[in-house]
Structure 1
Amino acid sequence: MLTHSLGFPRIGAKRELKWALEQYWRGEIDESALNETAFQVRRRNWEIQRDRGIELLPVGDFSLYDHILDTAFMLDAIPERFREGNGQSGIDTYFCMARGDAEKDIPAMEMTKWFDTNYHYIVPELAPDQAFTPNPDPLLEQLQEVNDLGMSGKPVLPGPLTFLLLSRSTEKDANTLDLLPALTEAYAQILSSLANKCEWIQIDEPILVQNLPKATVELLSPAYENLAKAAGPAKLLLTTYFEGAAHHAETILSLPVAGIHLDLVRAPQQLDVFLQEYPKDKTLSLGVVDGRNVWKTDLNTAVEPLKAAIKELGEHRVMAAPSCSMLHVPVDLEAECKLDGNIRNWLAFAAQKCTELRVLAFAARDLNCVEPLKNNANAIAQRRNSPLITNPEVRKRAITKEMTSRNSVFEQRSATQQERLGLPALPTTTIGSFPQTEEVRKTRAAFRHERIDAAAYEDTMREYIKDCVRKQEAIGLDVLVHGEPERTDMVEYFGRRLDGFCFTDFGWVQSYGSRCVKPPIIYGDISRPAPMTVEWTTYAASLTDKPLKGMLTGPVTILCWSFVRDDMERMDVCRQIALAIRDEVADLEAAGIGVIQIDEPAFREGLPLQKGKRKKYLADAVESFRIASCCVRDETQIHTHMCYADFNDVIEHIAAMDADVISIEASRSAMELLEAFADFRYPNDIGPGVWDIHSARVPSAEEMAQNLRKATRDIPAARIWANPDCGLKTRAWPETLASLENLVKAAKIVRNELLT
């Protein structure tokens, strides 16, 4: 019975790859130094997995930026604006695709969420006549690396159907699936080059857990016939994850692949469906350890489906694996010395999950592992019975219908708010954060490590806030923010001030490129012991006569961007968070703050992948936002913010949130995201992002004005705001100031046009 991994965290246990990437982008190291760091991270990843019992190691799951971008680059699916004629080397073309080029004024490719995770992938841009010219050399080189280390490697590739359905066409009405024959031929060439160099090849088709049309799924059969022939003696493992694929079982079981992987953490019930008529020539890989959360697996429960599969198929046709790639969890728990000992005993990071798989593989075959199973059972029981996880006061707090409704409809509130705020047409604002200087970061670290006292810390933060307010006033923004210098992360900041959360020192997870987050761990009932933002916000507001926004993170986003307890319903946890945020909103309003933004960038991200589960999630998510926001008077303006997403299937629920203003990331899609709001006739105000803050380039005032003009074709001008795509924390001050000046100019240009 083989143990294998679908993928491993690629950033490094101490973010070694992050630092090397950023040094390379700053010109401080060359390509060879970057590649050496990348190799060392890959090597360490393979060693960790091997030493903890993984027999078949993933190859190609590693990436310098993103695995979907890697695939597009390997296929030579490079949009013309990035071609070598721009004078760039191969690796710089690759990074330009992801990040754009400020000097050459080349915008980056679109970026969006990987299914329902907080990982972002680069969206391939494919022309209707797209040609694919594969170059498998990087994958072959990594396979040779693992072989040279004396380990057994399994190349990993995104499946052709998933790749095409996650891509976008450069022409609006073109269908990317029309490219499947050409893409299949390119994949066949890649598989042919791997055929005699490995035993297994992993083809990821997570798109199959979604409700696809039958005609779309049927396209797999001829495609995989060609791929199986090209692979020769190598065995194809078709991998699904993030949900169940039982609704496509008939087609999946008929495909000419040697093995199928199922996610039994998200969808344990699908095993019965697949086992009913499982083909005799196929191996079955079972994802029995959660690749997306940090809790110890209940091994005595998780072993049962492995035993059931062995009983039906025999142990040599069953593989044990994580549910999905472990990209979504931190590397190793052993570094977390400061965690509460009880809570630490309940956790398992990627390295520990590998050990769990080894134990499960032994236990499934009734081999001797009594002690590990006993220790695991004790940890599971201790957590279940711990007083740390339950707060009776939180459990007693009731939610009433009155708590989820504003006092008046939007039109009435809007008039009252305009009377209070006195804003011009196309009011300008930012999403919240401003660049975090080296001084700010060092001051936060010094305070955290008790090298300076609270007074010194607060003095530095106040000076930064004062400077932010002055800069915004000088630029001419209409609604200001305090800049958030006190916050490392929009979820971590609040989690540290709420009961029921704990934090790691090295629990980093990749969000995109070199950007990493350290998700809080929700282990118990959630409450707010004291105000969290009121002091900083009221101080900033005292420095200006202009409106200033209070900045909060919404309950759905805190939920989605944390490692959530798995011993109660997720949306019950969300409601606890909503009540805590509600208390903060009430305190901000009482302190005189007239504009309060409750960010929900993860609202769409949390949407279940299968349609039958969406209605309940959306109702709960809307309710949670309204619990948090509906405690204010009409004159207080509630904003929210959402990141790149396909809003078409959730637009009515976004409207039901009833925020007075929503800002969205729209520039990378050339304002196409606004079509969903226009088609729905979205009733409230909207701020489409008119410049892409994920790139260092400074868009001109005319470029932003053109985006605003596009917006006014879809949305009435009276309901449009002008703002960047997202927060500015990761940007530098010079580009930020230049871009904001152009934003204000753009708003004035279009205002004047509207008056003539």
Structure 2
Amino acid sequence: MTTLLPTSIVGSLPKPSWLAQPETLWSPWKLEGDALTEGKQDALRIAVHEQRRAGIHVISDGEQTRQHFVTTFIEHLSGVDFEQRETVRIRNRYDASVPTVVGAVGREKPVFVDDAAFLRTQTDQPIKWALPGPMTMIDTLYDRHYKSREKLAWEFATILNQEARELEAAGVDIIQFDEPAFNVFFDDVRDWGVATLERAAEGLRAETVVHICYGYGIKANTDWKATLGSEWRQYEQTFPLLQRSAIDVVSLESHHSHVPMELVELIRGKKVMLGAIDVASTMIETPEEVADTIRKALAYVDAGDLVPSTNCGMAPLPRDVALGKLAALSAGARIVRDELDPPAG
């Protein structure tokens, strides 16, 4: 029997303090060698346990085995030099020192497949794995080789498709592509962004998700959000394109954002992962707040197509806050589930 309003998280959970510095993006590992491998697996086990204990239905790794949702994948590719660094503007929002593309990019071996296979052994629930999308990958690099954002995106799409097919073979049920860049580069999204995303997902039997958000709850992102006015209508540019795409699920930011809920109507017919948890605040939502966000969305998406989720990853949050938010997400979804399908008895 399929669960109504199954819950899921978008990406990261905070790492244990013995593995990496808490509340920090790109936090260096505190372990090395075999101890690091074992520590990552222990952290992944904990992430699975905490999600299951909170009542989350679709289990992910919480990104416990990677430092960052984009750069960790890129680190494993040939053609990218992490010693040659340049400062670039990330998503037109903040400057960052990034590696350089110096030659043809390639994937010489699987990147996350062993980690995903380990995740598969930890639960019999559906599992989801996140990969960076092609456009967000190129936005996190300096390109000295292709000198074309589009050419590099197509190369990355092919590499991502190789990885995604092997993740599927390792037992992953849902493959998510993170594309926060879709909220910024609207002309590129229209001209080739959706097409490269579809290439990354080509031929998969696993359910495919594209996640588009307004970023982690870090100062550069919250400062940017403050400039966006009383209504955030960026999704209006991309949702009609995604509605016609081959991607199965669209993941979006909602709770405590200024995204008008009626924009969800633009992806009618797709499954919707609805961000009902604010990751830019340490305030833990009440179950009723979560339920209210879900109820509002149900005017624009069928209940059978709605997956209550988080707005984005929770890596920068304190662990107790993240766990409280997981519990609130689950409890809020349960309230609405019981309203739609009252328990017998």
- Structure 1 length as normaliser, TM-score? 0.40
Highest RCO, 1 vs 2 (Cα 8 Å, sep ≥ 6): 2
Q: Deviations over 1:33-70 (max 9, x none)?
A: xxxxxxxxxxxxxxxxxxxxxxxxxxxxxxxxxxxxxx
Q: Note if 1:561 corresponds to 2:148.
A: no
Partner residue in 2 for 1:80: none
Which runs of 5 or more structure 2 residues have no equivalent in the other structure? 22-26, 215-232
**Matched-pair contact (CA < 8 Å) for 2:146–2:152:** no
Give the distance between the partners of 1:433 and 1:505, measured in 2 at CA: 28
- Selected match of 1:460 from 39, 42, 52: 39
Match of 1:483 among 62, 74, 88: 62
Question: Using the alignment, how far apart are the partners of 1:639 and 1:618 within structure 2?
Answer: 18
Verify the 8 A CA contact 1:478 1:546 in the aligned structure 2: yes
Q: Is 1:547 equivalent to 2:126 in the alignment? A: yes
Which of these residues, 251, 262, 272, is aligned with residue 663 of structure 1?
251
Q: Give 4+ residue runs of structure 1 displaced > 4 Å after superposition.
A: 504-512, 515-518
| Corresponding position of 1:358 | none
For the 8 Å contact 1:444–1:457, the answer to whether it is kept is no
2-side partners of 1:445 and 1:504: how far apart?
Answer: 19
Quote the offset at 1:637 in angstroms: 1.0
Q: How far off is 1:689 after superposition? A: 0.6
CA distance in 2, matches of 1:505, 1:458: 27
Please tell me whether residue 710 in structure 1 is matched to residue 290 in structure 2: no
Deviation at 1:681, TM superposition (A): 4.9
Secondary structure at the aligned position of 2:314 is classed as: coil
SS of 1:525 mapped into structure 2: strand
Q: CA deviation at 1:746?
A: 0.5
TM-score by length of 2: 0.85
Q: Which has the higher helix share?
A: 1
Question: Which residue does the alignment assign to 2:13?
Answer: 434
Find the aligned partners of 1:591 and 1:629 in 2 and give their Cα distance: 16
Decide whether the 8 Å contact of 1:686 with 1:720 is kept in 2.
Answer: yes
Larger radius of gyration: 1
Measure, in 2, the Cα distance between the counterparts of 1:428 and 1:581: 26
Q: Does the CA contact (< 8 Å) of 1:489 and 1:517 recur in 2? A: no
| Structure 1 residue 597, shift from structure 2 partner | 1.1
Amino acid at match of 2:62: G
Distance across 1 between alignment mates of 2:237 and 2:130: 27
Kindly state the Cα deviation for residue 511 of structure 1 after the two structures are TM-superposed: 6.6
How far off is 1:563 after superposition? 2.2
Where 2:37 maps in the other structure, the secondary structure is: helix
CA RMSD, Structure 1 to Structure 2 (Å): 2.4
The residue that corresponds to 2:209 in the other structure is 639
CA deviations over 1:398-429 (Å, ceiling 9, x no partner): xxxxxxxxxxxxxxxxxxxxxxxx54111100
Secondary structure of the corresponding residue to residue 524 of structure 1: strand
Which residues of 2 match residues 307-326 of structure 1 at below 5 A?
none
Q: How far off is 1:659 after superposition?
A: 1.8
Q: Which amino acid aligns with 2:204?
A: V
Percent pairwise identity: 26
SS state of the match for residue 129, structure 2? strand
Residue 753 of structure 1: how far off its partner (Å): 1.1
After TM superposition, give the deviation of residue 505 of structure 1 in Å: 8.9
Deviation string for 1:496-535 (max 9, x for gaps)?
Answer: 01112122598677879xx985433223221111100011
Q: 1:507 to 1:564 in 2, by over 3 A?
A: closer
Structure 1 residues 524 and 476: CA distance shift in structure 2, 3 A? same
State how many pairs are aligned.
Answer: 317
Question: In 2, are the aligned partners of 1:440 and 1:460 still within 8 Å (CA)?
Answer: yes
Residue equivalent to 1:54: none
Select the structure that is richer in strand.
2
Task: Please give the alpha-carbon distance, in whole angstroms, between the structure 2 residues aligned to 1:670 and 1:709.
Answer: 17
In the other structure, the counterpart of 1:741 is 327
Whole-angstrom distance in 2 between the partners of 1:731 and 1:554: 24
Secondary structure of the residue aligned to 2:35 is helix
Render the CA deviation track for 1:407-452: whole Å, top value 9, x for unaligned.
Answer: xxxxxxxxxxxxxxx54111100012110233222695455xxxx3
Say if 1:690 and 1:725, in contact at 8 Å, map to a contact too: yes
Deviation per CA, 1:719-746, whole angstroms, max 9, x where unpaired?
Answer: 1110010011111111111111111010
Give the drift of 1:478.
0.3
> What is the rounded CA distance, in whole Å, between the counterparts of 1:431 and 1:465 in structure 2?
15
Once residues 517 and 544 of structure 1 are traced to their aligned partners in structure 2, the CA distance between those partners, rounded to angstroms, is 37
1:457-536 aligned within 5 A = 457-504=36-83, 518-536=97-115
Which position in structure 2 is the counterpart of 1:570? 149
Q: Distance in 2 between matches of 1:498 and 1:720?
A: 35
